[in-house]
């Protein structure tokens, strides 16, 4: 047992002794370089070869030295450029007088181990690499240029930093000039030159291999901005096609539509949704629709905003022209009746019921028919202010005249009774007072309306799609309905009085005619309210004009047509006896 232990000890001792004799030295790599003597030496490391050949490592013996096979002509130009620059400086006595520059250039082959070996060769000046030791006289090394890749230049810089050799990167950052080709040379804040890349297209060959083809480049030079150049015709797409493959989840949305992305699906999957009314999209695959201005509307294709059409009741409009003809025709009728009444003013039927009131009522009816014309054509400030006020005052005058006629019929009948106190009220003063008071109240309402919140023209862009309605805003809806309400109140009072007097003997027909006229008048305006509120634009104006014409025509027909019939066609009954009562007239005719 003791012999075995001693044997192992002797074996280890011999191994250590042998190792001490061998020593730890760097292997010789057959260092060869391009050297030229000088007062100052500038070193250079260049990757003159590529296609590095790395021997297999079996980890049982020292590996062979890696070597390179293919010579790089372009990198050899770098070497020649350095040599040329040094020779030019030496030839120019003004740059470095009495100083000759030399160089020591080594081929790194793009391998860190060879670059480090070359660096030690430059620093120590001998083939055997012994750190921090010079075994022969060597000219001073000023700097080392290279190597190209950072994987090599960084370990080289670490070694040179120990010996105090400067790094030129700090000064190179400030370089900025143009070469003879006009290309700007500069470095960014990190010391990097402007990058330039080739865009490659990998093509699969029939034999299964792949080949790269340059189809463009990306350049960041000069303006430090991306400059991309792609030759689209040189691209070979999958399947050997030169056309861009068409493969989408959804087809593109045409103008007039917007994309609606499917939830929880790729962004390329979407639906094309037609833009809403009043919105457009004028580009393909728009994400959103744009809303048109208030005075414009979208066309049928929803890809363009067009001007909205203006709408108002005009004389050129068929409906406006028809209403104009009707209003003019109806206005002639009361004028004709007025002429008949003036011609036959001495007949009993004209005298029987207050000629002045009849004349005033006929003139008021003419104004009623004519005031409807103010509602036609484009609304303006003065027409908006006049139309409703004129309509309210003229109609109040008409109804006031009818009310006065009705009251006078009742008073005239009761005044014939014995010991009646109503005889003093018979006469034109009471009738004129009734008309004046009732009309003045309406005038006060209209003046207050126009003085506080007068009507004004308005462009209504919301009521109808694609149409701007030019209409009169009432200013105060309360005042408008007060005008109509007061007119309705007069009509109801007149209807009640006439209805109560319908059975009076003698001239009771007058009360019946007034009852019918007020029934027509009230019915028209009651039907007007829902029709007016349910229409828009020019049709709202047309409804009001129709109500004016219909109610005025009802008054005219029910009150005056029977009288004209007697005056023109039945003059034989145009007598005082007939007006006093049909039985008295019949008995007198038999006798």
> Are 510 and 409 within 8 A, CB to CB?
yes
Q: At 136, is the pLDDT very low, low, confident or very high (cuts 50, 70, 90)? A: low
- Domains for the chain: give ranges and CATH numbers: 30-55+65-167 (3.40.50.2300), 196-234 (no CATH), 257-307 (no CATH), 318-571 (1.20.1070.10)
SS3 365: helix
In DSSP terms, which residues pair with 330 in a beta bridge?
none
> Is pLDDT of 9 > 50?
no
Alpha carbon distance 540, 534 (integer Å): 8
Closest CA to 358 of 332, 340, 377: 340
**Mean pLDDT on 435-439:** 90
Closest CA to 270 of 253, 289, 245: 253
Structure tokens at 469: 């309605």
Burial class (CB in 10 A: 0-12, 13-18, 19+), 217: middle
Cα dihedral 455, 523, 442, 537, rounded to 10, equals 10
CA-based max dimension of the chain: 188
Phi, psi of 225 (to 5 degrees): -125, 155
Whether the pTM exceeds 0.75: the reply is no
**Mean pLDDT on 495-503:** 78
Phi, psi of 212 (to 5 degrees): -95, 140
Model confidence pLDDT, tens digit, residues 344-370 = 888 888 877 678 888 999 999 999 999
Alpha carbon distance 141, 44 (integer Å): 11
Model confidence pLDDT, tens digit, residues 544-559 = 899 999 999 998 998 8
pLDDT in the model for residue 89: 93
> Are 109 and 67 within 8 A, CB to CB?
yes
Alpha carbon distance 339, 564 (integer Å): 11
Model confidence pLDDT, tens digit, residues 16-50 = 333 334 444 445 545 568 888 888 989 898 888 87
Model confidence pLDDT, tens digit, residues 284-311 = 888 889 998 888 888 888 889 998 888 8
Structure tokens at 321: 């022209």
> Is pLDDT of 186 > 90?
no
Instruction: Find tokens 């030159």 and name the residue.
Output: 193
- By DSSP bridging, strand 49-53 and strand 67-71 are antiparallel
Alpha carbon distance 524, 522 (integer Å): 5
Alpha carbon distance 497, 588 (integer Å): 32
Instruction: Provide the H-helix boundaries in 107-149.
Output: 112-124
């Amino acid at each position: 047992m003791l012999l075995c232990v001693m044997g192992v000890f002797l074996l280890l001792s011999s191994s250590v002794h042998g190792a001490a004799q061998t020593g730890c030295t760097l292997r010789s790599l057959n260092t060869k370089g391009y050297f030229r003597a000088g007062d100052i030496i500038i070193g250079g490391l260049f990757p003159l070869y590529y296609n590095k050949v790395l021997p297999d490592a079996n980890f049982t013996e020292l590996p062979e030295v890696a070597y390179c096979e293919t010579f790089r002509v372009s990198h050899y130009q770098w070497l020649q450029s350095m040599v040329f620059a040094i020779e030019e400086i030496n030839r120019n006595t003004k740059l470095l007088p009495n100083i000759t520059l030399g160089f020591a250039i080594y081929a790194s082959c793009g391998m860190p181990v060879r670059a480090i070996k070359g660096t030690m060769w430059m620093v120590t000046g001998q083939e055997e690499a012994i750190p921090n030791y010079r075994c022969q006289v060597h000219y001073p090394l000023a700097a080392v240029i290279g190597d190209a890749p950072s994987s090599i230049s960084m370990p080289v810089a670490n070694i040179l930093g120990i010996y105090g050799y400067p790094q030129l990167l700090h000064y190179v950052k400030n370089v900025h000039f143009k070469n003879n080709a006009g290309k700007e040379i500069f470095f960014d804040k990190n010391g990097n030159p402007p990058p330039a890349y080739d865009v490659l297209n990998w093509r699969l060959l029939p034999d299964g291999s792949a080949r790269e083809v340059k189809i463009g480049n990306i350049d960041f030079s000069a303006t430090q901005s991306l400059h991309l150049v792609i030759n689209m015709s040189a691209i070979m797409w999958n399947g050997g096609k030169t056309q861009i493959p068409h493969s989408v989840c959804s087809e593109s949305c045409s103008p007039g539509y917007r994309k609606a992305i499917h939830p929880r699906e790729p962004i390329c999957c979407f639906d094309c949704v037609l833009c809403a009314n009043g919105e457009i999209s004028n580009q393909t695959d728009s994400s959103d629709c744009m809303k048109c201005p208030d005075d414009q509307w979208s066309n049928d294709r929803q890809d363009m905003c067009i001007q909205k059409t203006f709408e108002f009741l005009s004389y050129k409009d068929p409906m406006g022209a028809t209403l104009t003809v009707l209003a003019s025709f109806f206005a002639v009728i009361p004028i004709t009746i007025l002429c008949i009444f003036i011609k036959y003013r001495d007949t009993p039927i004209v005298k029987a019921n207050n000629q002045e009131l009849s004349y005033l009522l006929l003139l008021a009816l003419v104004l009623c028919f004519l005031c409807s014309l103010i509602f036609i054509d484009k609304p303006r400030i003065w027409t908006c202010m006049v139309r409703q006020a004129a309509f309210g005052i003229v109609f109040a005058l008409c109804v006031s005249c009818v009310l006065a006629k009705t009251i006078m019929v009742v008073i005239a009948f009761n005044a014939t009774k014995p010991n009646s106190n109503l005889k003093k009220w018979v006469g034109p003063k009471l009738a004129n007072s009734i008309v004046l008071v009732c009309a003045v109240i309406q005038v006060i309402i209209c003046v207050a309306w126009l003085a506080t919140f007068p009507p004004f023209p308005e462009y209504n862009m919301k009521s109808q799609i694609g149409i701007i309605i030019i209409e009169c805003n009432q200013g105060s809806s309360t005042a408008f309905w007060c005008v109509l309400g007061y007119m309705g109140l007069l009509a109801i009072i007149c209807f009640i009085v006439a209805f109560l007097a319908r059975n009076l003997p003698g001239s009771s027909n007058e009360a019946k005619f007034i009852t019918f006229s007020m029934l027509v008048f009230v019915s028209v305006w009651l039907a007007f309210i829902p029709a007016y509120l349910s229409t828009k634009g020019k049709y709202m104006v047309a409804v009001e004009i129709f109500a004016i014409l219909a109610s005025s025509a009802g008054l005219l027909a029910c009150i005056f047509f029977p009288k004209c019939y007697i005056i023109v066609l039945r003059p034989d009954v145009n007598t005082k006896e007939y007006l006093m009562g049909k039985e008295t007239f019949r008995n007198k005719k038999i006798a």
